[in-house]
Structure 1
Amino acid sequence: MARPARRGGGPRGGDQGTPAFIARGDGRDVFVALQSGGRAQVEQDGRTTELRAGDIGFFETIRPFRTTFPERFQLKIFAVPRNLLGRSEADLRQLTARAVRPSGGLPALLTPLLERLADTSEAYATPVGERLAEGVLDLLAATAADRLGEDTAVLPGADRVLLLRIKAFIRWHLSDSGLTPRAVAQAHGISVRYLHRLFETEDTTVCQWIRELRLHECCRELVARAAGSVSLGQVARRWGFTSPARFSRAFHSSFGLSPTDWLDRERASRGTGEVPC
């Protein structure tokens, strides 16, 4: 997720979809607006809706849209890369100008997270901010699927919300070497057996999911660091691996190379823009 912004002011209205305004949208981002205060009337794709305080709305700038603010308002807008949201153009046309009310389910969890993230986004160190954004993206993608009436989840609604919350918790505590299934289960007031059952619907295990996230973060940091500026052991421990040997075994098991060989290969091909992890 990128570029959270706040807009506010007194009553006003007008066509925000003029050719000049639309031209600034290149289609790579979908915009998610949280109506933090006041009201907004939004028109796009042949629909009109009213956003009230706490409501969430999707919109795009590559097609005409119109917003009217009949009273003082505060709007918090997030630019979400389209590829991360995973929706087609046809899907997005069904999502725009529809108010997502925080009355229950996923929206009730998403609204306070967006509110908090918009107000504090600059306070987080990069790794923490990125993990938090990934958790919010999961919730946004699930909310979009739910609004489109997709029955893709094996879990019932309450368990879906719980699993998303657990995933966000794991991302937040990924650097903690004590992040075990028991610790995760205790933090959410459930049994370890029930935690494993939630992850069975994802075709993975809790430990495997944590390990893959840690490896991904290690890869990303190793690529970003200058050669010789940090050791493999330092990076491994920073992301929760208890020893360099355990990190190396996990890395080789997942990628078929040692961390050193992978990093040498990656640095030799940095100009390709490809990151194997």
Structure 2
Amino acid sequence: MPALGFGVFQTAPEETVQAVETALRTGYRHVDTAAAYGNEREVGEAIRRSGLDRSEVFVETKVWISDYGYDATLHAFDKSAGKLGVDQIDLLILHQPLPSRFDLTIDAYRALETLLADGRVRAIGVSNFMPHHLDQLLRATSVVPAVNQVESHPYFSQPEVIAEDARHGILTQAWSPIGGITFYREGEGGSTLEDPTIAGIARAHGRTPAQVMLRWHLQQGRSAIPKSTRPERIAENFDVFDFELTGAELAAVDALDQGVRRGPEPAAITLETFGREIPEA
């Protein structure tokens, strides 16, 4: 899996094809989507239009909580694969831990294990799982998740989650890797893009704050999936492979953690509040 992926969270379907095509032309070879985003079909269309061989693009998508349960999750694969227009998904993950119905979460993950054994997916994983969720999952299942995709950026880096992932050999993948801007809350911590420490490091390298944050993730062994629909930003976010932060600079960014989550609390995700039907392919 390429460490740097292209995300399409909150990208409208009508913008997704062009954004993903632009990303693939720029050099991205990893696209992250989800059933709940409503744009899997457009991601698949963009990959086909790119002219790239299917084997050249790593496709990652997620099962939404409404499709948890063994049989429902098997069918969720059919829906996602149908929309993407693929026979095999490279990485299929559970979108949330669903603590209020963790029995359904376990059944959903067991379905992922079946899909993996059958070769319909190449790898399986989870998203937004905290350490206690991982412990529960690992006690009840056989395959260690390849990936745990969580909110992680300089103001909310989640070192405990990263450490627990590493203890189990799970790759931490950062969503909102440049600052949780999508979930920005007025008056709560400011913007990482305007942080003076990050700006100073960026000036020292002749780079942008976003590039510094992405480099911070990559050098510390995390996957990152920035998103944008603007061609210049898509290119900027990919241009992070020809410079290196010093140990002191990495530590300075680490020290910015405020412990303030910008996205929803995993415990707040319930079928009653977040459940919605995922359409057929």
TM range (shorter): under 0.3
Larger radius of gyration: 1
Q: What's the TM-score once normalised by structure 1's chain length?
A: 0.26
Q: What's the TM-score once normalised by structure 2's chain length?
A: 0.26
Q: Which structure has more strand as a fraction of its residues?
A: 1
